[in-house]
Structure formats: structure tokens, C-alpha cells
Amino acid sequence: MTEPMTMNRVIHAAVRRDLDRLSAALGALQDGDRPRAQALDRAYRNLRNELTHHHEGEDTYIWPMLAGAGVDRDLLAAMESEHHTMAEALAETAGTMQALASSGSAADAATARASVERTREVVERHLRHEESELEPYLHRVEDTPEWHAVEKKLRSQPPRVAGPFFAWLTDGMSDEHRAFLKATVPTPVVTVFSRVFGRRYHREVAPTWR
């Protein structure tokens, strides 16, 4: 049975996409290509920022709401613990990417790629856990006033946050996810935020994946 599409899954797909293409790009990096290494570091920093922001929203708004709805507190504690584990993995990878940006060496590229692979395993384990065990609870509360209040808070982001988010989310998005986004957020909103407030992403990060 196909699971219902959610914004959460769309965001998860963007995270998986970036980790996949970052790993591939690191494997193809030519020894001494510092400009390319620096571009990959910028792209990684963007991914880390978006994933961290996503998890902070869950920790701040979604988990407390679910706790109030009677969701197993051990499950919510596990989610929060996994967020901490991911933060540590992301930080470790950031260090290897910074070293690569400085040297551009094949050796540092190999080290960074190995770190990305470890981080991808940590992230994937959490995403699957969240999708399989937590999302069913979200479906049960999605029509409640409490969930609508949480959604309002999550969507009330300043343009400097929403713009880069939509620019990143839609860069390489699948047709299925694009159709879901179109049905969820008005297309003019996505377009304006992405093109106007997400210009820096389009200028500094998106070319990395072309």
C-alpha cells in the first residue's frame, strides 16, 4: 500500500537527494580542484542548515503537540535523541568538508565522502523511523485545531528563511513531489519566494549540481 504523500516526505526526499549527489560529486572530484571543493562545501552547509531548521521545528512544535495528543512519549524521546545523533554526524561531516574546501585534495575528498556516507546512514535510519512509526500519528491529528495551529507556526517563516527553503526544496524535485507541493502551497507563493528571496541559493548552490 502506497503511503500518503506529506510535506514531511517531500522534505525528506530533498535531504536524500542532496546527500546522494554530494556523495557522487565527492567521488568524482579531481585532485586539486579547490573551486569545486569550495562549491561542494557551500552546498553541504546549505543542506545542513535546512535539515537542522526542519528538525528544530519538529522539536519545538510538533513533538510537544503530539505529546499532548497522547503519542507514546518513548517514541518522541527517541525522535529527539535521533535528532541529536544526526546533529553530531552533520557537525563531523562539516569538519571534513571544510578541510576539503581548504585543500581540494583527493585525500580530503575521500575522507569527506566517507563521512558523508556515515552521516547518510544516520540520517536515513531516522527518516525511515519517523516515516514508519511517527507519521501514522500525524495523519490521525491532521484535521485537529492543534495541528492547524502547529502548521500555522511552521509556515510563518520570514522571507529570508522561506525563500532559500523553497529554492532548495524544488531544485531537482520529482514530478510527484512537485504536484503535491503545487496542491499544498499556491504556485505563485513558491515562485516568488524561491526566485526573489531564494536568489542566493540559485546563484551560489544550485550551479553546483548542474
Question: For residues 49 and 96, is the Cβ–Cβ distance under 8 A?
Answer: no
In the chain, count H helices and then E strands: 11, 0
Average pLDDT over every residue of 155-166 = 94
Residue 186 predicted with pLDDT over 60: yes
List pLDDT tens digits, range 122-144: 999 999 999 999 999 999 998 99
At 168, list the grid cell: 532548495
What span, in angstroms and rounded, lies between the C-alpha atoms of 46 and 50? Answer: 6
**Stretch 91-102: mean pLDDT, rounded?**
99
Are the beta carbons of 94 and 48 closer than 8 angstroms? yes
Give, rounded to a whole angstrom, the gap between the first and last alpha carbons of the chain: 35
- Positive or negative CA dihedral for 145, 150, 154, 158? positive
In the predicted structure, residue 3 carries a pLDDT above the cut 90: no
Region(s) of the chain under CATH 1.20.120.520: 9-156
The whole-number pLDDT of residue 76 equals: 96
pLDDT band at 2 (very low <50, low <70, confident <90, very high): low
| Confidence (pLDDT) at 111 | 99
How far apart are the C-alpha atoms of 96 and 91, rounded to whole Å?
9
Which CATH fold would you assign to the domain 9-156? Four Helix Bundle (Hemerythrin (Met), subunit A) (1.20.120)
Average pLDDT score over the chain: 96
In this prediction, residues 69-78 reach a mean pLDDT of 95
**What is the rounded average pLDDT of the residues 168-194?**
96
Listed residue (122, 112, 123, 108) closest to 43, CA to CA: 112
Rounded CA gap, 55 and 190, in Å?
21
Q: Average pLDDT in the 63-77 region?
A: 95
Please give the share of the chain, as a percent, with pLDDT higher than 90: 95
Residue 1 confidence (pLDDT): 46
Question: Which triple of cell numbers denotes residue 157?
Answer: 517563516
Is the pLDDT at 30 greater than 90? The verdict is: yes
Residues in the chain: 210
The single-letter code of the amino acid at 108 is: D
Determine which of 139-143, 168-172, 189-193 has the lowest per-residue pLDDT on average: 139-143
